[in-house]
Chain A
Amino acid sequence: MEIRRGIGVSGGYAIGEALVIDREEYKISRRSIAPEELDAEIRRLEKAAEAAETEIRAQVRGMPRRVREVAGAILEAQVRPLQDVQAEIREDVRKNLWGAEYAISRTINKKVKTLEDAGQGNAATAAYASRIIPTLVEIEKVLIRHLLGAKRENVSNLSTPVIIVAHDLSPGQTVTLDRIKVLGILTEVGGPTSHTAIVAKSLGIPAVVGVEGIGSDISGGDTVILDGSGGTVITNPDAGTMKRYQAMERNFALLEKQRAKELQHVPAVTKDGTNIEIFANIETPDEIPTALEHGAEGVGLYRTEFLYLTHGFNPSEQDHVDAYQRAVGLLGKRRLVIRTMDLGADKVPVEGLPVEENPFLGTRAIRLCFEKPDVFRIQLRAILRVAPMGNIEFMLPMITSLSEILQVKEIVEDVRRELQHEGVTVSEKVPMGIMLEVPAAALITDILAPHVDFFSVGTNDLIAYSVAVDRRNERVAPLYQPGHPAILRLLKHIIEAAARHNKPISVCGEMSSDIIYTPLLLGLGLRRFSVAPPVIPDLKKMVCSLSLDDARAVSERALSFDDARTTVNFLRERARQLMPDTL
């Protein structure tokens, strides 16, 4: 048992198996074997090593002769460590009766750790370590890949819950992680305002950041206890500790439930009596019960990408219908906003689509829908079919111009006629909105307004496209600033234009899930929020703590600043004054 301390950034307890994601492509379980299984396990390991060796040799053979002389020698050199490390792994399996995967992970880990320690305070050794570690990690990956064979579980598609351990999580990784299966998050770097912290908090996943050295201290499959409030991290706990934390975990969950329940039926009304609507962002209908328990009025953003990711990028009409019907069944008469497919060419291996050099400025979302109208029509058919059963609306991502909206309207009309022709009952009108997440669209909100029924602002992309920053790129990530004066001006422009045309508008990006921005958004005129369910109780409390005059004073002041840092500091301070207990 080992105890470490970091910064607790998202409350709650998590107990589970570790998944070290910078190194591992597949989930490694800590499995014990019975003494009589020992020989079979060793044979399994040997077979995997043989297969790995064959793979490396085949790679060498496949190279052009000239390359083979140089690169081949390097690959050949990898065969040796692969053979040598086996002896140690075998010893680990024999002595501890561990499954081979876990023994590999532990053995390689020990070596990586030794090299990292040697590199401490010595630049030459650190440089050596940084060249050698990838080779060791590669050996681990290759062996595990062959051990698991067809059984392997991909990180983005887990069948059992895990605690994610990483050096740092990029925003990109948090998107691809299977959120439902993530019990807790543990990172080496980061602070209370880091991206990981904000995302974990908004998702209600316990998280501890700033725990030095955990990447190599913890092996995949280790049992980890994580206290997201206190910042404690325990690896391979003894039975007593385990029991104690299991009890604390139960208590915490109970308390959370109580707190949400207390606020569940408290309406979100400002001090001067203005009603504020709060909706939930969800990825699957499974999240709806929790969202409602937390006090959501409905679903303001149903991201349908999950459907595509779990159905080999090609869900059938019935897959869509089943999911939407389930959502309607859980929501009843409450509002459900389905966002049509928002995938990029970088994620969808659609046949006939070229790999793009810059997917974020490429065939994403609605653009992909236009390129693959058959796929788009399947989703539209499902939406129109389920619409009469509930309070359904839909919205389009990545709209940049009016012509795109008109084009979708034509397709929708065509699909409607097609359904009617088939004798299917279809609603006369299903409200259609658009996401405002590209600056070009934001600046022509007034032009687009007459043609849509509502707007939803996707602040994540709107900010990224405005300040030209890919948040997954660590070198420029600090330039991603929600408090940038340009973003505040854009939001003011959008919200005012929508109000002039009497079109409802909500903000569904991360900015609305971070309550330091709530007074600003209310002051700018926002009356509808769509947020991650765990945030709703705090958001309600924030709304109830101020009047619209207070909020306007905040937004006016915020708009007067020259730079993001002053703005964010001011907003954080104001939020702290309004909700001293929470912040």
Chain B
Amino acid sequence: MAEKTVTVVNTLGLHVRPVAMLAGTAARFSSSISILKDGQTANAKSSVDLLTLAAVVGSALTIRAHGADADAAVDALAHLFEDKFGEE
């Protein structure tokens, strides 16, 4: 299992475009990946599921992955957050 905590820095939060990027990236890995926020869990490979986290700017999220490529998956997703999803 791999895990990493990230913070949403995009002004509009995890809106449609960032979740699409997240889900698209997550789908490339075989591990099962979830994103947690205040006890709520969403499947990182489902953009609609991610939307229901209502992750606004400043939200602390945990990326958690189980599986063969868990480490790489968590790193790849965390990188998207650090990169502000290419925005701003």
Interface residues of A (CB under 8 A from B): 73-74, 76-81, 84-85, 87-88, 111, 114-115, 118-119, 124-125, 127-129, 131-132, 135-136, 139
Docked-complex contact A136 and B48, CB < 8 angstroms: yes
Assuming the A-B contacts A74-B16, A76-B20, are A84 and B48 also in contact, with contact meaning beta carbons closer than 8 angstroms in the complex? yes
Indicate which residue in A88, A125, A131 contacts B48 across the interface (CB closer than 8 Å). A88
Chain B residue numbers with a CB within 8 Å of A79 are 20
Docked-complex contact A74 and B17, CB < 8 angstroms: yes
B67 interfacial contact with A, CB 8 Å: no
Docked-complex contact B16 and A135, CB < 8 angstroms: yes
How many positions in chain B have a CB within 8 Å of any CB in the partner chain? 21
Docked-complex contact A111 and B56, CB < 8 angstroms: no
Chain A residue numbers with a CB within 8 Å of B12 are 128, 131
Docked-complex contact B13 and A81, CB < 8 angstroms: no
Chain A residue numbers with a CB within 8 Å of B46 are 84-85, 87-88
Q: How far is the CA of A39 from the CA of B41 in the complex (A)?
A: 30
Docked-complex contact B48 and A85, CB < 8 angstroms: yes
Docked-complex contact A81 and B57, CB < 8 angstroms: no
Instruction: Give the shortest distance, in Å, between B35 (CB) and chain A (any CB).
Output: 14
Indicate which residue in A76, A115, A119, A124 contacts B51 across the interface (CB closer than 8 Å). A115
Chain A residue numbers with a CB within 8 Å of B51 are 81, 111, 115, 132, 135-136
Assuming the A-B contacts A84-B23, A84-B47, are A77 and B56 also in contact, with contact meaning beta carbons closer than 8 angstroms in the complex? no
Nearest first, the 3 closest Cβ-Cβ pairs linking A and B are: A80-B20, A118-B54, A77-B20
Q: How far is the CA of A76 from the CA of B23 in the complex (A)?
A: 13
Interface residue ranges of B41-88 to A (CB < 8 Å)? 45-49, 51-52, 54-58
Closest residue to B57 on the A side, CB-wise?
Answer: A124
Docked-complex contact B56 and A81, CB < 8 angstroms: no
Instruction: Give the shortest distance, in Å, between A126 (CB) and chain B (any CB).
Output: 9
Could you tell me the dominant secondary structure of chain A's interface residues? helix
Instruction: Give the shortest distance, in Å, between B53 (CB) and chain A (any CB).
Output: 8
Q: How far is the CA of A111 from the CA of B15 in the complex (A)?
A: 14
B9 interfacial contact with A, CB 8 Å: no
Q: How far is the CA of A132 from the CA of B55 in the complex (A)?
A: 11
Q: How far is the CA of A139 from the CA of B19 in the complex (A)?
A: 15
Assuming the A-B contacts A128-B13, A128-B15, A131-B12, are A81 and B20 also in contact, with contact meaning beta carbons closer than 8 angstroms in the complex? yes
- How many contacting A-B pairs (Cβ < 8 A)? 68
Q: How far is the CA of A87 from the CA of B27 in the complex (A)?
A: 14
Instruction: Give the shortest distance, in Å, between A59 (CB) and chain B (any CB).
Output: 15
Closest residue to B55 on the A side, CB-wise?
Answer: A128
Chain B residue numbers with a CB within 8 Å of A135 are 16, 51
Docked-complex contact A115 and B48, CB < 8 angstroms: no
16 contacts between A and B (CB under 8 A): A73-B17, A79-B20, A80-B19, A111-B51, A115-B54, A119-B54, A124-B57, A124-B58, A125-B56, A128-B12, A128-B13, A128-B55, A129-B54, A132-B15, A132-B54, A135-B16
Q: How far is the CA of A27 from the CA of B46 in the complex (A)?
A: 28
Docked-complex contact B56 and A128, CB < 8 angstroms: yes
Docked-complex contact A77 and B16, CB < 8 angstroms: yes
Chain B residue numbers with a CB within 8 Å of A124 are 13, 56-58
Closest residue to B52 on the A side, CB-wise?
Answer: A114
Closest residue to B49 on the A side, CB-wise?
Answer: A84
Indicate which residue in A78, A114, A119, A129 contacts B16 across the interface (CB closer than 8 Å). A78
Indicate which residue in B23, B45, B48, B54 contacts A128 across the interface (CB closer than 8 Å). B54
Docked-complex contact A80 and B23, CB < 8 angstroms: yes
Q: How far is the CA of A124 from the CA of B55 in the complex (A)?
A: 10
Closest residue to B13 on the A side, CB-wise?
Answer: A128
Chain A residue numbers with a CB within 8 Å of B23 are 80, 84
Q: How far is the CA of A121 from the CA of B49 in the complex (A)?
A: 22
Q: How far is the CA of A128 from the CA of B48 in the complex (A)?
A: 14
Q: How far is the CA of A63 from the CA of B12 in the complex (A)?
A: 25
Chain B residue numbers with a CB within 8 Å of A111 are 48, 51-52
Chain A residue numbers with a CB within 8 Å of B45 are 84
Closest residue to A132 on the B side, CB-wise?
Answer: B51
Interface residue ranges of B20-35 to A (CB < 8 Å)? 20, 23-24
Chain B residue numbers with a CB within 8 Å of A136 are 48, 51
Residue from the set B19, B45, B49, B54 with the largest chain A CB neighbour count within 10 Å? B54
Docked-complex contact B15 and A81, CB < 8 angstroms: no
Residue from the set A115, A118, A129 with the largest chain B CB neighbour count within 10 Å? A118
Chain A residue numbers with a CB within 8 Å of B24 are 80
Chain B residue numbers with a CB within 8 Å of A74 are 16-17
Chain A residue numbers with a CB within 8 Å of B13 are 124, 128
Q: How far is the CA of A127 from the CA of B58 in the complex (A)?
A: 14
Chain A residue numbers with a CB within 8 Å of B48 are 81, 84-85, 88, 111, 136, 139
Q: How far is the CA of A118 from the CA of B42 in the complex (A)?
A: 14
Instruction: Give the shortest distance, in Å, between B36 (CB) and chain A (any CB).
Output: 14
Instruction: Give the shortest distance, in Å, between B26 (CB) and chain A (any CB).
Output: 11
Q: How far is the CA of A78 from the CA of B13 in the complex (A)?
A: 16
Extra pairs beyond A78-B20, A125-B56, A131-B15 (19, CB < 8 Å): A79-B20, A80-B23, A80-B47, A81-B20, A84-B45, A84-B46, A84-B49, A111-B52, A114-B54, A124-B57, A128-B12, A128-B13, A128-B55, A131-B12, A132-B51, A132-B54, A135-B51, A136-B51, A139-B48
Indicate which residue in B19, B49, B54 contacts A125 across the interface (CB closer than 8 Å). B54
